Amino acid sequence: MTVQDSGKVALVTGASRGIGYGIAEALVARGDRVAITGRGEDALKEAVERLGADRVIAIPGKAHDEAHQAAAVERTMEAFGRVDYLVNNAGTNPVFGPMAELDLNVARKVYETNVISALGFAQQTWKAWQKENGGAIVNIASVAGVAPSPFIGAYGMSKAAMINLTAQLAHEFAPVVRVNAIAPAVVKTKFAEALYEGREAEAAAAYPLGRLGVPEDIGGAAAFLTSAQSDWITGQTLVVDGGIFLNAGVG
């Protein structure tokens, strides 16, 4: 089926697989042209082939690298002439353990990759297109940024900072650019595998909606937050969690 071109362009970081890929897929399906990033070039190539090389380009690089941030936006502008939407999705969670023993250099690295990178990309899209022409930014946070999650404290701190960054940018970029975040619970990707592998039914049973998330769930939310349907929403964090937070009051 041919999709009618929306005339809009998105840059999605960390989109060779998982949630970022699910978001890119949702945006391509509605007619956007999309630039995706990631570190692994082969995975990026495969993703471009699956998404459609006529509408998607890939820019390899590490999210925290400022030169890559600038190059990604420059390449997107060269290829498509605009960058309406930025989805800051690339993120890392390399440690598991108590905060009392957290290696501070690892905590710094997590902050750099998850938070500073998102700010860097937002600065670039703002300068290159959005300041003059408008658009929207979506930051992929986590439920771990909304409430404490055992043994992933460094990650949770960084995602909480991302939620504040969202509100801060929403305030500063209004009224031209809307900035919102999505806070997913467990979504079935390589990143979260350890949380459910071999025990998915048990993990899913904790969710009032009876299942874990899939990348399409976040794709739908990101498509909404980058559409006219959300034109009066900014600075918000949309929790997409299969209802898991509803358990907080169950004693």
Ligand X SMILES: NC(=O)c1ccc[n+]([C@@H]2O[C@H](COP(=O)([O-])OP(=O)(O)OC[C@H]3O[C@@H](n4cnc5c(N)ncnc54)[C@H](OP(=O)(O)O)[C@@H]3O)[C@@H](O)[C@H]2O)c1
CB-nearer residue toward ligand X: 135 or 145? 145
> Which residue of the set 111, 155, 196, 207 is catalytic?
155
CB-nearer residue toward ligand X: 60 or 133? 60
How many CA within 13 A on the CB side of residue 188?
Answer: 15
Q: Alpha helix locations (H) across the chain?
A: 18-29, 41-51, 66-80, 104-111, 117-125, 131-133, 153-173, 200-205, 215-225
Are 152 and 144 in contact, with CB atoms under 8 Å apart? yes
3-state secondary structure of 213: strand
Closest approach of Cβ 1 to ligand X, in Å?
A: 26
Smallest CA-to-CA distance from 120 within 184, 51, 64 is with 64
CB-nearer residue toward ligand X: 33 or 159? 159
Distance CA 110, CA 33 (A): 30
Closest approach of Cβ 4 to ligand X, in Å?
A: 28
Task: Render the burial of 231-241: b for 16+ CB within 10 Å, e for the rest.
Answer: eeebbbbbbbb
Name the residue with tokens 């600075």.
235
Tokens describing residue 167: 């509100």
Closest approach of Cβ 88 to ligand X, in Å?
A: 8
CB-nearer residue toward ligand X: 90 or 170? 90
Which residues would be at the binding site for ligand X (CB under 6 A)? 14-20, 37-40, 43, 62-63, 89-92, 113, 140, 142, 184, 186-187, 189-192
Distance CA 201, CA 93 (A): 24
Closest approach of Cβ 187 to ligand X, in Å?
A: 4
CB-nearer residue toward ligand X: 163 or 192? 192
Closest approach of Cβ 165 to ligand X, in Å?
A: 13
- In the residue annotation, 85 being an active-site residue is answered as no
Q: Which residues are catalytic?
A: 155
